[in-house]
Structure 1
Amino acid sequence: MANYTKRDEVAVIELNNPPVNALSFEVRSGLQNALKSAIDDQDVKCIVIHGKGKNFSAGADIKEFGAGTKQQKPWITDACRLADESSKPVVAAIAGTALGGGLEVALFCHYRIGTPSCRVGFPEVQIGILPGAGGTQRLPRLIGVNSSIDMITSGRHVMAEEAMKLGILDKIVTEDIIEEGVKFAKSVVGLDLAHRILKNRKIEAVSPKVFDDEISRVKKKYKGYIAPLFCLKAIQASVQLPYDASMEQELQLFQHLVGSNQAKAQQYAFFAERTSARWQLPTGANSQNASPLPVKTAGVIGAGTMGAGIALCLITSGIPTVLVEQDQKFLEKGIKTMEGDLRGSVALKKMTAEQAKKAMLILKPSVNFEDLHDVDLVIEAVYENLALKKEIFAKLDKICQPQTILCTNTSSLDIDMIAEATKRMDKVVGTHFFAPAYIMKLQENVYGKNTSAETVATVMALGRRIRKVPVLVGTCESFAANRMLHPYVTEALYLVEEGASPYEVDQVLEDFGMPMGMFRVSDLSGLDIGYKVRREAAKRQGIDLTLGTRFVNGERVCLLADVLVEKGRLGIKSGKGWYNYGSPGKKEAIPDPEVLDIIEEHCRKFGIKKQKISSQEILERMQLALINEGFRILEEGIVSKPEDIDVIWIYGFGWPKYMGGPMFYANEMKLKNVYRKICDFHQKYPFSIHWTPSKLLARLSETDLPISNWTSLINSNSKL
């Protein structure tokens, strides 16, 4: 709804749907009625629109899009057209956020003022649509085509100072936003409003080449996404067509996107990310009844690439951090890495030089474990070796305060085995960051059988504080992310053995929408990393993993990657891996005939007959292998809901948001089709254990239930 009050000659309209004042049907209707009342009232000389509480409006109610393109009228344009036509000045008084439809409401007003902390923007592109209430038509008339393209195709938020420079805001005010709005509105009574009505403004002339260049840029930057391209089409219409015709074009483009599969997937991903913040332990403790401990200081052990990246996440979020390394030379190298990353952030305008300097001032480098004595939380980020990690945790248990939380960045080791080295098993938890830790958004938090709800709440809150997307999973070998990655990587190796080249496999994955193929990712990470992890795991299990091994406990294995490692091909770091990079550190990946020769030799050695493998089979075998493992993880309760798996793959491995994540992808394929194909592969490849169909998938495939219903049925143990 919208509240209507009068202050002398000023009508004050309050958008009333806190906390974000989403523009629901009731709010739009209330706004329309309030504007009509103000315009019809002869005693009213001017009008102020503001939002109740801390925000102006964060935009339309996304849930309304699910019903299709026929939202209940009045739409935003219907309600706000009255402001456009008003002879009385209308002022938008913006506090908090004015995003999407909220900014469109403000653009229908004659003037806009804001607080210093307010933010404006059009984030619609991030959920697969475009501003559909005049945003693509009115913003270019206000700030020009180039700036509008930047804002609308990126979906970025613009802070008050920049909004003022662009011309979106007419004034930044520091006092109460309503009082300032009333004062400003009174000051513009009687002024000519003709030049303030955006639909009447002439738009700057722009060369068609501008749009050709932008289309090329957007296709490259937002590969596979259709919404940014539709945004460009709508902005181009604002240049080429009269206002009313361009508004109609915007509406048609908007309606097409709203009904698209990409919008459906991106909106699912939007809600999945928010759902991941809601967690529950087997004990019943959850995000609603558990409170986090304060983290005022932190420690990181290990100044390698991962440890330095984690320390950066902490200090750039304002958390004083002790970075401990056993060797002074390694410590100095880690600090140089951090300083280089900060310079990169400054160059990209993600922070100022002053902010970077302040971040480094709260870092305390040390070669002394005792310096961790008073920190609130420690994150260990050393090599993936169980004995080493247990040694470190035993030491931390003696040095740190009793309430200090001890975290491990392990990517695969059982949290309970590490916790056994301490007398505070309730305060031991996994915080698995993804490389590069300073950039990648996923934080896979892992609880053990003794991890307390308070500890879980603390690391989940810390993840959000350091700008990560935290997801909670239970402990097991490799957890959720890498456990699903294993069959994905394994199938890639099998496919290469059977006849596909690494470069064909990578091309299929990149055509699907992955930012990088599996073999290029391996080169980037370093083939020696996986080599060491495999041997460490084999050692723990008492397995002799020699290069002549073909089967382990009845399961087929492929050690082609290990062959490359033992030939000195470690990836980008050595200049050669699956690809040739010319020299160490260079990133241009060139297919290498020598690798194909190595594969040929390997296949001859084991009598493997190579065959032609289609792109469709490559895609199905890799994606369905990880999907089947995802259902097993759900089945075992390692994660509590399919949305968590999809968030892990979107933010941990770059699964395209416009496909929603692997579980959403399976849902769209229809589970009966997914199950049938997995059964076919199981019959064809009986020595690949990952093709054993998930029991949960088998049961769910007998129904036609959408993904939104899976969790309640899984948790209730209902017969499906």
Structure 2
Amino acid sequence: MASSAVMYSTIGNVAVLTMNKPPVNPLSHGVRQGLLDGIQRAGKDSSVNSVIITGAGQAFCGGADITEFSGQLKRPGIVDVGNVIEASDKPVVAAIHGYAFGGGLEVALFCHYRVATKSARVGFPEVQLGILPGAAGTQRLPRVTSLAVAMEMIAFGKPVTAYDAVKCGILDKIVDGDIVAEAVKFLAVFHNRDLSTRRLSKLPVKDTEKKDALFEQALIQVNRKCKGFIAPIYCLKAVKNAVEYPYAEGLRMERELIAQLMGSGQSKALRYAFFSERNVAKWRLPSGENHKTAKANPVRTVAVVGAGTMGTGIAVALITAGFDTFIIDQNAKLVMRGAETVRSLIEGGVKLGKRSVQEAKAALSLLKPVTSLDEVRDVDLVIEAVFENMAVKQEMFKKLDAVCKPQTVLCSNTSTLDIDAIASVTKRPDKVIGCHFFVPAYHMRLLENIYGSKTSASTVATAMELGKRLNKVTVLVGNCHGFCANRLHGLMGTESQFMVEEGASPEQVDQVHEDFGFPMGGFKVSDLSGLDIGWNIRQELLKQGGIKLKPGERISHLRGRRFCTLGDQLYEKGRLGRKTGKGWYRYGEPGAKIPYVDDEVTDIIKKHCQEVGIERRAIPTQEILERSLYPVINEGFRLLEEKIVSCPDEIDMCWLHGFGFPRYHGGPMFYAEQIGLRRIYDKVCFYQKMHPTVEHWQPSELLKRLADGNVPMKQWSNELPPSNQQALSKL
């Protein structure tokens, strides 16, 4: 008898098996057993001549139950169920709506037929977890579609639409209306057909004569797009095995390959990232209020103050998510230029196939360019995106506080500045919060929300709900200079400049970063964002502290910030990065993307080192990697000590989604556990002796304690000291 996880019903002579674990209907043990029981029951029922498999709710099936990955898989497995489906002498059709991903698509490929709604999508996203389709997907897909399509879908994990799936042979038909009713009509025509040609395990793989060329082409693409990532290569091997070996042997080799991947550090990192993205949404304030107890204010209308690069990017994200959005700047010319930028970005998405013409029109209808703050007095939430200067931001918040209704939440898109100082000029500090977007705001998935000492739980809940509606990975952190993301990222940039002073070249450091898996090296990123950004931040800090750095000075006691003056010399020569055609690299023209090593930069570096008395040396690759990442890890433990973050997941999600840290390394904190905290601590101590005046090499007390106790990562949060308000007050 079918389990409660799968509902069994009949429509005339058709048995309907409905996976009943919405919203995603994962293939947990109960669902697998229910499908097996249902197929066997239908096979024994003489009044049934065919079977439909579908899913309850909004989707067919999202795939395997990932929570079962860590233990022994209980029988029956997906292949066990699939073999019974395929062997059925009564036709079985998969009725797909929403999506059929991973194991869900594998179940569908065991069926004799597959029909889907227009909006359905199918795919194999397993590679995103560092594994491959492990229930015959690598062996069955190339038997129903071309080898090239199979390799691309499995190695890159991108889903395809129902229309594309029909074109390439994965689906048999697209239907309108109720998916089950349409599947019944389909079976009325096909239930008497010969099934011998519908059992994929008995069919040959397509395009076998092209296998070597197709494999080499796919491998080139994988190495170009997924540098250092092993799972896509294993995916290609598994698909190629389908060509070179009989079905049963290919299936055995598929199991071997997935077993190797499951035990790899990369897969563990990717599974950690998968769960961490969900864990960071479960926020908690020092007061004890949390995501369960706090209630978000309803937000329907939003105002974005500032029509520059950041403001327009935020506006695109908002209108795409369906918010009525005002965009404001100081004069009509700036506002209209900003509105035109938004329009261009939305229409560009149409050209790239990211949205339909109708979706673009709907989004643009929500945009309202205005020049007066009086016109936004009734909005539910404001996001300030003006110049990164405390005086400018405080002046804007005074105005917003005076104009906006008392319930309006006021957000600052600051990347470094003190949220409490911004809130102090208002009469509603409880409704002030930082909402740090990353460039481009409509694309980058990280939203770093920062609570101040007086920010209310409902304000936090509102900002976190905003991030959710924008489809962001939203991390809540405490208030300090640079918060979590930029406080840590600044160390990597500063230490990279120190290494260039000591003997490395910018291109050498960048190559180490890219070989590790970053999409772009740190100096190339600096050129992309603009050297003036970092310069402005440093000048603001130095101005606040009344400090003037000397050439070659490596440390300022201002809030523990670390500085290197080398980048400032490039700025002072007008080398602002891509926008001026020259920064750490030379570009063909302003705005060009391809970097070239520039002899002028080499000369500036050498002259600088001579003037400040630094004797340059050859710096090995391993040292570059350690000095780029280990200060970040050390400071990450300080963030935990100071309660700026509540768990290491929050640090790692900032790096994965804000700075392109390779997902298959999990994030700097997960990477630290993989390396071993004892090794990390010892190396931090080693570099501290080399650079005794550089504060970021002073070992974290928490790092030392965890290393001494060999404490596993899942217990790090339990090892945190009570909230240290004295430490917080110094930041």
Q: TM-score, normalised by structure 1?
A: 0.95
CA distance in 2 between counterparts of 1:296 and 1:147 reads 42
Aligned to 1:100: 102
- Once the two structures are overlaid, the 10-residue window that deviates more, 477-486 or 487-496, is 487-496
1:604 to 610, 634, 639: 610
Q: Does 1:399 align with 2:403?
A: yes
Q: Which segments of 5 or more consecutive residues in structure 2 lack a partner in the other structure?
A: 724-731
Match of residue 634 from structure 1: 640
Corresponding position of 2:464: 460
Q: Does 1:581 align with 2:587?
A: yes
Seen in structure 2, the aligned counterparts of structure 1 residues 413 and 4 have a Cα distance that, compared at 3 Å, is closer
Amino acid at match of 2:534: G
Shift of 1:242: 3.0
Amino acid of the structure 2 residue aligned with 1:565: Y
Separation in 1 of the partners of 2:438 and 2:631? Answer: 22
1:566 matched to 2:572? The reply is: yes
Which residue does the alignment assign to 1:702?
A: 708
Distance (whole Å) between structure 1 residues aligned to residue 554 and residue 126 of structure 2: 51
The 8 Å contact of residues 84 and 197 in structure 1, kept in 2 or not, is answered as: yes
Written as runs of structure 1 = structure 2, the 5 A alignment for 1:259-658 is 259-545=263-549, 547=551, 549=553, 551-553=555-557, 557-658=563-664
Asked if the contact 2:327–2:339 (Cα under 8 Å) also holds between the matched residues in 1, the reply is no
Q: Distance in 2 between matches of 1:558 and 1:174?
A: 63
Where does 1:30-429 land on structure 2 (aligned, <5 Å)?
Answer: 30-67=34-71, 71-182=73-184, 184-206=186-208, 207=210, 208-429=212-433
Q: Which runs of 4+ in 1 moved over 6 A?
A: none
Whole-angstrom CA distance in 2 between matches of 1:548 and 1:511: 29
Contact 1:10–1:186, Cα closer than 8 Å, also in 2: no
* Structure 2 residue identity aligned to 1:156: K
What is the aligned-residue identity percentage? 51
Asked if the contact 1:116/1:172 (under 8 Å) is kept, the reply is yes
Shift of 1:288: 1.4
- Change beyond 3 A, Cα 1:328–1:18: closer
CA spacing shift, 1:213–1:288, aligned 2, 3 Å: same
Q: CA deviation at 1:203?
A: 3.2
CA positional deviation for 1:406: 0.9
The amino acid that maps onto 1:5 is Y
Q: Deviations over 1:38-58 (max 9, x none)?
A: 223333322222234443321
Query: Retained in 2: the 8 A contact 1:370–1:399?
Result: yes
For residues 376 and 431 of structure 1, the distance between their equivalents in structure 2, rounded to whole angstroms, comes to: 15
- CA shift, 1:202, in A, is 3.5
Q: Within 2, Cα distance between the matches of 1:589 and 1:615?
A: 21
Hey, what's the Cα distance between the residues in 1 that align with 2:622 and 2:553? 29
What SS does structure 2 have at the residue aligned with 1:11?
A: strand
Greater displacement, 250-259 / 3-12: 3-12
- Displacement of 1:350 in angstroms is 1.1
What are the ranges of 5 or more consecutive residues in structure 1 without an aligned counterpart? none
Cα drift, residue 581 of structure 1: 0.8
Contact 1:429 1:455 in 2 (8 A): yes
Work out whether residues 547 and 562 of structure 1, in 8 Å CA contact, stay in contact via their aligned partners in 2: no
Shift of 1:442: 0.7
- Which stretch has the larger CA shift, 234-243 or 687-696? 234-243
User: 2:691 is matched with which residue?
Assistant: 685
Distance in 1 of aligned mates of 2:413 and 2:274: 26
Match of 2:726 in 1: none
- Check whether the contact 1:46–1:186 (CA below 8 A) recurs between aligned residues: no
Contact between 1:412 and 1:482, CA under 8 Å: does it hold in 2? yes
Q: Deviations over 1:150-189 (max 9, x none)?
A: 3222322334444444443444455554455455445533
Q: Would you say the 8 A contact 2:297–2:459 is kept in 1?
A: yes
Whole-angstrom CA distance in 1 between matches of 2:460 and 2:163: 38
How far apart, CA to CA, are the structure 2 residues paired with 1:188 and 1:448? 64
Distance across 2 between alignment mates of 1:551 and 1:183? 75
Q: Cα distance, 1:118 vs. partner?
A: 3.6
Tell me whether 515-524 or 113-122 shows the greater mean CA deviation.
113-122
Amino acid at match of 2:428: R
Higher deviation after alignment, 175-184 or 635-644: 175-184
